[in-house]
Amino acid sequence: MKIILPVLFALIAAIGNAMFALGQKKSVHYDNGLLFIAASALIAFCLAVLFAPAMGDFNIGDIAKNHWRALLLSGGGLFLTYFGFNLLYSKFGVSQYVLYAVISIITTTIIVGALWLKEPINIYHKVAIALAIVAVFFFSIGQSKI
């Protein structure tokens, strides 16, 4: 029962990511990838503001005043994510997502989660991370055979 909500939330994110990947791949027809990123981010912004009241307190001033450093960090990170995806998907295709996924496991789970925030990682997590790295190795071999 403990796993149902995390899986549901991950599924929501995965569906969103698939939609995002398809949109980014379709952006290859536009000369300016950054303009495409800005327009899609504007749509995401509008949807987030629209649904925000359903998630709890709606105090934009408090967030801006008391959490501006986190906002800058998250906004910069979101830009880099959008920018990296745009370059990766428009130039190489969405099948390259596996590279992002494993690098993201290393940067987010290991560096941010385990090392920076001191979140616990057990042997099962370590095995999963190792297998993900092995997956990239095999993916790279597969790409070289195409």
The 10s digit of each residue's pLDDT in 46-98 is 999 999 999 998 988 998 899 999 999 999 999 999 899 888 888 888 888 88
Segment 118-123 shows an average pLDDT of 93
Give pLDDT, residue 8.
93
The confidence band for 1, taking pLDDT boundaries of 50, 70 and 90, is low
Q: Are 85 and 100 in contact (CB under 8 A)?
A: yes
Rg (CA), the chain: 18
pLDDT digits (tens, 9 = 90+) for 7-18: 999 899 889 988
Q: State the pTM of this model.
A: 0.77
